[in-house]
Structures are given as structure tokens and as C-alpha cells.
Amino acid sequence: MSDIFIELKNALGEERVSTNIIDLFPYSRDWSPMYHEKDYLPEAVCVPLCTDDICKIMKIALKYRKPVIAWGGGTGMGGDNLAVKGGIVIATRSMSRILELDETNYTLTVEAGATIESINDFLEPRGLWFPHDPESKPASTIGAAMMCDNDGTFGIKYGGIVDYLLNCVLVLSNGEKLRVGQRKAASTSSGYKTMWLLIGSEGTLATVTEMTIRVFPLPRHRYVMLWLTPTMQDAVDALYEIHKSGVWLESAHVNDGYRLDYYTQAYREKTGMPAKIPEGFGSLLALTIAGDEDVVNFQKGKITAIMEKMKYSLLDNEEIVRGWWASKHTLQWERNKWPSGQKQAKFGAADVAVPPGRINEIYDAYIRYTEKYKLKKVGAAIYNSRPHVSPSISFAVYVDDHDKESVDNFFSYVHAMSKEALGLEGTMSSYIGDGIRLRRLTRLEHEKGLDIMWNIKKIFDPDLILNPGKIFPKEFDPTDYEV
């Protein structure tokens, strides 16, 4: 055993450092649809119990110039936390304690390895909740949510992680610990927003160990409505009309016809009866409103009047409504939503975002490139990531990860969709992140700004040991990484 691993075991304890391949293998793949024979084994996995443990790991890693990769729930879809240069994985799930609930100020301080689901399990009996709500919440950690800047169900009302995050504790590559942010205040105009640099940085600048977040009163009532519109653009335009009326939506999702088929398929599997969808409607606008019962009823009536005036149709099928909500929030019906094809292929997505008026154009590109690269469509879904109409889109496909051509075609498809989004004045990624899948294209999106980002990285991580091989293309790091 080499000296570095002996030092790690002496620092943390024999049982909290492993170089055994059986222990390393779970950290060799994330949810990226990569070829099944390809994996990235780290050299060691460390299980810290506190921030000071991570400080020790960093100091030892820096001494030996070993890469360090923080690992949350492993639910990323872009290779964000893969050990492309080997090194040490820090398994942060071992740090999952609730450190403080301040009910007076509606804040929660928690370690970075706590899952989103566990946070809300703690808050719910106290009449509170944390509305960041990804479908991966049983495994997704709060630290990874920050580092990947992913979105969730309730963004149109509550926003994203940047809107919840108040302060956090970081460990730099030299093992130094510091706290950044504005303590428990909701906003600040003092100094540079150092904490915001960490959001979406994918662990390339520092390792977050604990954070203080805003929490909210649990809604007393909620109502779910599904509306049928001709196209996804029609659904987005309808959101603007609802927004103009003063209705405060809790969530708003748009699904194309392929996604709608999954909900109707689940209905057929459960009831043995076909769902009736009127002709001419190829998109689903799913809305929730929440609050006091009289407020919810008023907003329900207002939405209904707007949608009926636009001649859109309410999907009046309670079983499908419950199934849609369960698939997005409670996850109880998730296993029934997907047809049997999901068992033979993996789920992959281009997660581009474009301005709200260009939905049809990017959707046309989705149809064009899935046909070009011979990929079966799962369908398109639009989330709203901020407190206004703010499309974050998943253009999903099936990928056979036992077929290298299928995997290669998938990444060609993601790159083509990314370039298309940039041409439509959008962005390559709205919730997955750059990871290793988009790093060859980041210069296209950020142009000379990428040089500034690299200089920032070198300030935080001068020896370049934090999660190497992510975000930055070959011109910054001469080692080329295969996807």
C-alpha cells in the first residue's frame, strides 16, 4: 500500500478508507448513459464524519498531488463527479446531520451529505418544507444540488438553489476551512458574491461540507390541474397569460405528446382502459396551486377562465392527474409510468434551455436530431427554474448502453442540441451541468469568459486537484478524456 493511503487511514481510521475494488466500484459510474464497459475507478474512497475530516483528506491529497472528487448521491447525468484521473473520492453521504433548525427565521443548517428527501422528512412534522424537489430526491444530496445547480418541481414559485442558499462552509484544496455567504439574511449587497461562484462549479473550486438554507411553511392545500394544448409553445404562452393575471403558480410543467403517452400508458396498465385525449392536442400543461383553501379555489377559477378563453382542454381524468403528481413529487407511481422499454435502455437527455418564445424551434431540432442519430424518443419536458416563466428543458431519449454506436450517437445528439440552443440564444445546460459530456463545447458558450473562469479556478485550486477533467476543454488541460 502506498504512503498516501497509509496516511489517510492513520488520519481517518482504518475502517473509513478503502482501496478495495468492491468498495470503489459504486463510485465508478453515475447516471450518465455511458458504454457499459466504460468506468472510472477511483484509487480510494474516504468516508468523512465531519468538516475537519475533509480538511485532513485535502491536506494529504495536496501533499501527494492526488485528485479529489466529492461524491453525493451519484445521480448526475453528465459525468460531473467521475474520477477521470483516478484519485480519491470523498463519500459525503456520511455527513448528513441536521445541525440547526431556526424556526423563528425559517432557516435550516445541514451537512452537505443529507438527501433532499431526508431534509423534508425532518421538516414535515414541524409544518415546514424545503421546496427544492428533484425526482432523484431519495438519493440526491443538498451539497450536490448546490454544486450542480439542478432544478426541481417548484421553481416557478420558489426559485432554485441560489434562492435558498444563505451561507455554506467550504474546504479548499489546501485543507483550509471557511464560511461564505450572508449568514441568515435573505440578501446582501456587501462584497463579492463568493458563495455564488460555487453554485454549478461541480466541485472544481472547493468541497462544500455544510450549508444554511431557507425553508418555508408547508402549504395547507394544493390543487393539481392538467391542461391540453396544441403545442409546447402554446403551453408556455398560456403561462404568460396566467402570470399576467396575478395567479401565483406553485409549479408549472409542460410535456410533449411523447411524455403524455407515458401517463396514458400508465393509466392503461393500471385500469385496463384507454385514456381519452381529444384530437389536436399534443402537449400537456401541468399546474399546481397552493395556499389557503379559499385562495386556491379563487386561483383555480381564474386559471380555468384563462385556459377556456384560449380554447384549451382540461384533462379531466383524476387517475392520470394523481399519476402525474405522484411521478413528479411523491414518486409512488414512478415504476408504472415507464413502458417496459425502459428496462432494456437507459434514460439520457439534452438539457438545453432557450428563450421562452423559441420553444417550437428547439423542439423541431429535437425531432430532427433524434431521427438523424436513430435514437428513440422518451419525450420533452419543460420545468421552470426561477420565479417567472423560465424554461429548463429535458429532451430525453433512450440509450442502449450495451451498444457503443447507440452511446456514441447519444453524445453526438447532445452536442448537436447544445449547438442548436446556443444558436437560438440559449444555453447548453439547464440542470445537468457541463461535466465531461459538454467540456469540449464550453468555449462556444462562454467565449473569452472561459479564460476568466480558469483563472478563478486557479485561485481556489492552484494545484488543480479538485475534480479534474470537468467543465474546461483540452486547451486548458492537455489530457483528453473520453466520454
Of 275, 308, 338, which residue sits at a domain end? 338
Strands 313-314 and 346-350: unpaired
Closest CA to 168 of 115, 200, 102, 212: 212
pLDDT at 479 over 80: no
Q: Which residues of 307-331 are buried (b: 16+ CB within 10 A; e: fewer)?
A: beeeebeebebeebbebbbbbbbee
Evaluate whether residue 248 is within a structural domain: yes
Looking at the chain, the whole-number percentage of residues with pLDDT higher than 90 is 77
Domain count, the chain: 2
In which element (H, E) is residue 415 found? Answer: helix 404-423
pLDDT tens sequence across 418-433: 999 999 999 999 999 9
Q: How far apart are CA 430 and CA 283, in angstroms?
A: 21
Contact 466, 203 (CB under 8 A): yes
CA distances from 456 to 146, 252, 460 (A): 18, 36, 6
pLDDT digits (tens, 9 = 90+) for 206-218: 999 999 999 999 9
**Comparison of pLDDT for 150 and 430, the residue scoring more:** 430
C-alpha cell at 323: 399519476
Q: Do 195 and 258 fall within a single domain?
A: no
- Is 109 domain-assigned? yes
Q: Which of 165, 200, 217 is the last residue of a domain?
A: 217
Nearest to 286 by CA among 259, 257, 321: 321
pLDDT tens, 370-403?
A: 999 999 999 999 999 889 899 999 999 999 999 9
Is the domain of 186 the same as that of 228? Answer: no
Per-residue pLDDT at 120: 94
Structural domain of residue 180, as residue ranges?
A: 98-217
Is the CB of residue 135 less than 8 Å from the CB of residue 331?
A: yes
**Given this model, what pLDDT does residue 477 score?**
81
455 burial (CB, 10 Å; 0-12 / 13-18 / 19+) is: exposed
End-of-domain residue from the set 217, 247, 266:
217
Angle at 53 between CA 174 and CA 456, to 5 degrees: 30
Q: Which amino acid is at 443?
A: R
469 pLDDT above the threshold of 60 = yes
410 is a domain residue = no
Check residue 342 and give its pLDDT.
43
